[in-house]
């Protein structure tokens, strides 16, 4: 794959890089993500059994409620959270987890919203670099 540059909206700005872990299905972190390991544990989800620790998690949005924020906060504290999250729109539960983790633990992650067409261009296994301005460099 040639180098691809995508321009997104930085919901929470920051820099990160990692291997992409991509699903077109939303993910529930409540019962679907093991904060102790980073494993996606929702056995009905296409990413079931994959580990998101240190990866760029690419999901359209969360499924569920504010418990997503709580689970993700624990993962950030434990060091098992994704390096960055890419979505198709502003996801307030992801954003809240990043902001609160920045305040509580001095750790946060970038959250980037892409158009649906650009979102569809990232594949699992791509190397993704997230820039502070919302630009994604995909190799």
Among 22-26, 65-69, 103-107, the minimum mean pLDDT is found in: 65-69
pLDDT (tens digit, 9 = 90+) per residue, 71-107?
999 999 999 999 999 999 999 999 999 999 999 999 9
Q: Which domain holds residue 64?
A: 4-138
Q: Which member of 65, 66, 108, 115 is catalytic?
A: 65
Burial annotation 112-122 (CB, 10 A radius, 16+ → b, else e)? bbbeeebbeeb
- Asked whether the predicted pLDDT for residue 115 surpasses 80, the reply is yes
Q: Determine whether 23 is an active site residue.
A: no
Nearest Cα residue to 134 out of 97, 98, 85: 85
Number of structural domains in the chain: 1
CATH of the domain at 11: 3.50.30.10
Averaged pLDDT, 8-32: 96
In the DSSP assignment, the letter for residue 119 is: H
What pTM was estimated for this model as a whole?
A: 0.96
- Asked whether the predicted pLDDT for residue 68 surpasses 80, the reply is yes
Residue 27 to residues 43, 85, 87, 102, 121, Cα–Cα distance (Å): 11, 12, 11, 23, 19
Averaged pLDDT, 100-118: 96
pLDDT-above-70 percentage for the chain = 99
Q: What's the confidence (pLDDT) of residue 1? A: 60
Nearest Cα residue to 136 out of 20, 40, 39, 1: 20
């Amino acid at each position: 794959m040639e180098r691809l540059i995508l321009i997104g909206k930085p919901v929470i700005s920051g820099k990160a890089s990692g291997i992409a872990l991509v699903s077109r299905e939303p993910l529930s972190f409540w019962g679907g993500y093991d904060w102790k390991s980073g494993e996606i544990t929702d056995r009905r989800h296409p990413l079931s059994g994959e580990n998101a620790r240190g990866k760029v998690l690419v999901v359209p949005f969360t499924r569920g409620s504010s418990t997503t924020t709580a689970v993700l906060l624990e993962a950030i504290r434990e060091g098992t959270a994704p390096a960055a999250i890419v979505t198709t729109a502003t996801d307030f539960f992801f954003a809240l987890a990043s902001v609160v983790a920045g305040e509580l633990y001095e750790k946060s992650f970038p959250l980037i919203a892409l158009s649906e067409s650009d979102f569809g261009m990232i594949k699992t296994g791509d190397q993704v670099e997230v820039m502070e301005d919302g630009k994604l460099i995909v190799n």
